[in-house]
Amino acid sequence: MEQKNNTSLPLPKYAFWDVSPENLDISRNKEFIISRMFERGKLDDVLSTIVYYGKDEAIKVLRDNKYLNRPGLFLAHTLLGQPLQDFKAYATLKHN
């Protein structure tokens, strides 16, 4: 399998302000990267993340993330075509 590196998936500083993006391992830190891109990235960043990891992997990671913020949750629902109820984070939202 081909080794992917940070040059094929840009990690913008505005989305990763609290960590050094160059220290992130694209494979080992994929849950963090995918979630952070949906929560803090621009639309182009999110689309690049889906292309890089694949739609199925993005769905799997985001469904299992029970701490995904509200904007990230609704973006994932919209872009990935998944029912809100399928995301663990949906159960933690206040529905009023």
In whole angstroms, give the CA distance from residue 85 to residue 82: 8
> Has residue 4 got a pLDDT over 80?
no
pTM, rounded to two decimals: 0.88
Helix and strand numbers, DSSP H then E, in the chain: 4, 0
> pLDDT tens for residues 11-64?
999 999 999 988 999 999 999 999 999 999 999 999 999 999 999 999 999 999
4 in Cβ contact with 52 (< 8 Å): yes
Q: Locate 45 and state its tokens.
A: 């960043």
